[in-house]
Amino acid sequence: MSARHAEIAGGGIAGLSLATMLARAGWSVRVHERSPAIREAGAGIYMRNNSLEILDEYGVLDRLAALGTQIHQTQMRGAHGELRQTFHLTGPARTFVFPRQALVDVLADAARDAGVEITLDSEAVGTDPGGVLILANGTRLRADLIVAADGFRSRLRDAVIPGARQWELKTIVNRHFIAGRDLTPDEMSIQYWSGQRRVGVAPCGSHTYVYTNFPNTLPRAGTLPLDLADWGAAFPGLQRELAVIAAAPTTQYNYIMVDCPRWTAGRLAIIGDAAHGLPPTLGQGAGLSIMNARALTLALDRRGSIEDALHYWEQQVRFISDATQKWSCRYDSFTRDLPEMLRFLRPAAFWCFRHFPALNNRMRIADRGLALTALHP
Ligand code: FAD
């Protein structure tokens, strides 16, 4: 019997992960990436235990670990640098920070090693859910499985799923990538809070990854390079750090959300940000993408028909992504919208979430991964 064949639109974290997993399961797989290279913005990315376990299963965690940093604890600090809380990152909270480009490079190498064909400059413009991917040059490619892994503005999703939508939230985030570890000699991440803003600092291999976020109602906060007078007034204890951060390469984004009423249509599966784009507050966008890709390969292995497998997959795993989207938005709102007179409650709220499993397991449901579903490897 000839191998089943998949055509995947999108060579990001979701598309490359799924491609490797399908190829290792005996599929023939082609990935279409519209850009001329597999490329990510220069920044770091936090990966939690749910995706680390899967990267380990596929033999790529060792390669990545050498390029990133395992974070053993995280601290919450105030605007003057004063320590409020320390949490240990073990068990389901195990966390690494990787350079984004290293992550996609390692995923692309793993895909090619598994026999995946990665086609660059290849843009998908449509699909027939009966099993056809349509490219910008007019080519129609037949496959047993079509995958929309084309990011949060997914063109394939919007063409096929009625009611699907994506929008920007009111929070803006800058990602700064700093050569060297002067700000992060220890294997520890720190979140500094001030009013409606946060500054997150983490070691990331030979670099330091920093994010600065703020609501779009503070126009001076969005100036690039950072307005040191404005940020220095918000974080008086971080003058040295802010000067280093302002000099580093920076990219700016809006937080986003995706509402995708169904993840499947016929032989089409929607995966990654195209299915569950969410604010990055819990560090789970890529984690969910990798986890859902693993679950999809298991569903395809266990169910006879493609349509049945896709339906089963969504039914089994979707609740984790839905809950994570909700909690990521709540976390964002907690930074941005909490009235000034209630902000003193933040450390207490964090303490409660970290120390009461019933709360933590709800907010960080994704950390426990596929063990919560019938699609556990
Ligand atoms: P994308 O990364 O968007 O990849 C889609 C790919 O498809 C792109 O390469 C694009 O060029 C290609 N493409 C698009 N359209 C087409 C087309 N028509 N045809 C062919 N190719 C196409 N997640 C975490 O887990 N941890 C974090 O710490 C974290 N931090 C984040 C910080 C910020 C500021 C942001 C914005 C996100 C963060 N995320 C984080 C989320 C994470 O980056 C995403 O969830 C993840 O990158 C989604 O991967 P994806 O492959 O679904 O989409």
**Pairing relationship of beta strands 73-77 and 188-194 according to DSSP bridges:** parallel
**What pLDDT band is residue 2 in, cutting at 50, 70 and 90?**
confident
Whether residue 102 contacts residue 376, with contact meaning beta carbons closer than 8 Å, is answered with: no
How far apart (Å, rounded) are the C-alpha atoms in residues 343 and 323?
25
With a 6 A CB cut-off, is 45 part of the ligand 1 pocket? yes
Residue 1 confidence (pLDDT) above 70: no
With a 6 A CB cut-off, is 35 part of the ligand 1 pocket? yes
Which of 104, 150, 189, 291 has most ligand 1 atoms within 8 Å of CB, for mutation?
150
**Pairing relationship of beta strands 264-265 and 268-270 according to DSSP bridges:** antiparallel
With a 6 A CB cut-off, is 44 part of the ligand 1 pocket? no
**Residue 376: what are its φ and ψ, rounded to 5°?**
-100, 130
Cα(169) to ligand 1 centroid in Å equals: 17
All domains of the chain, ordered by start, with CATH? 5-167+256-372 (3.50.50.60)
Q: Which residue has the tokens 């797989």?
A: 29
Whether residue 168 contacts residue 179, with contact meaning beta carbons closer than 8 Å, is answered with: no
Cα(344) to ligand 1 centroid in Å equals: 34
Whether residue 127 contacts residue 148, with contact meaning beta carbons closer than 8 Å, is answered with: yes
With a 6 A CB cut-off, is 157 part of the ligand 1 pocket? no
**Pairing relationship of beta strands 165-179 and 188-194 according to DSSP bridges:** unpaired
What is the DSSP-derived secondary structure letter of residue 37? S
How far apart (Å, rounded) are the C-alpha atoms in residues 190 and 1?
54
Q: Pick the atom of ligand 1 nearest to 154's CA.
A: 15
Cα(84) to ligand 1 centroid in Å equals: 33
Residue 371 confidence (pLDDT) above 60: yes
Q: Can you tell me the mean pLDDT for 113-122? A: 98
Alpha-carbon distances, residue 29 vs 19, 70, 143, 150, 301 (angstroms): 6, 32, 9, 16, 15
Q: What residue spans of 34-178 are helical by DSSP H?
A: 49-57, 61-65, 100-113, 155-160
Q: What angle do CA 116, 119, 125 make, to 5 degrees?
A: 120
State the pLDDT at residue 354: 84
Of all protein residues, whose CA lies closest to atom 4 belonging to ligand 1? 12
Tell which residue, 274, 306, 315, has the closest CA to residue 22. 306
pLDDT tens column, 274-292: 999 999 999 999 999 999 9
Q: Can you tell me the mean pLDDT for 154-174? A: 98
Q: Pick the atom of ligand 1 nearest to 271's CA.
A: 52
Worst-scoring range by mean pLDDT, 59-73, 89-103, 199-213, 344-358?
Answer: 344-358
pLDDT tens column, 9-57: 999 999 999 999 999 999 999 999 999 999 998 899 999 999 999 999 9
With a 6 A CB cut-off, is 100 part of the ligand 1 pocket? no
pLDDT tens column, 92-116: 999 999 999 999 999 999 999 999 9
Q: Pick the atom of ligand 1 nearest to 46's CA.
A: 28
Which of 31, 35, 40, 45 has most ligand 1 atoms within 8 Å of CB, for mutation?
45
pTM: 0.97
Please give the structure tokens belonging to residue 183. 């700000």
**Residue 255: what are its φ and ψ, rounded to 5°?**
-60, 150
Alpha-carbon distances, residue 263 vs 109, 129, 158, 268, 365 (angstroms): 27, 12, 11, 8, 20
**Residue 281: what are its φ and ψ, rounded to 5°?**
-60, -30
Q: Pick the atom of ligand 1 nearest to 273's CA.
A: 52
**Could you tell me which residue, 25 or 348, shows the higher pLDDT?**
25
Please give the structure tokens belonging to residue 25. 């399961």
Of all protein residues, whose CA lies closest to atom 8 belonging to ligand 1? 12
Mapping DSSP to helix (H, G, I), strand (E, B) and coil, where does residue 198 land?
strand
Whether residue 104 contacts residue 39, with contact meaning beta carbons closer than 8 Å, is answered with: yes
Across the chain, how many H-helices and E-strands are there?
12, 19
pLDDT tens column, 309-331: 999 999 999 999 999 999 999 99
Of all protein residues, whose CA lies closest to atom 37 belonging to ligand 1? 280
Of all protein residues, whose CA lies closest to atom 31 belonging to ligand 1? 280
With a 6 A CB cut-off, is 17 part of the ligand 1 pocket? no
How far apart (Å, rounded) are the C-alpha atoms in residues 130 and 248?
48
Cα(81) to ligand 1 centroid in Å equals: 32
Q: What percent of the chain has pLDDT over 90?
A: 92
With a 6 A CB cut-off, is 285 part of the ligand 1 pocket? yes
pLDDT tens column, 178-236: 999 999 999 999 999 999 999 999 999 999 999 999 999 998 999 999 999 999 999 99
pLDDT tens column, 140-152: 999 999 999 999 9
Chain mean position to CA 285: 3
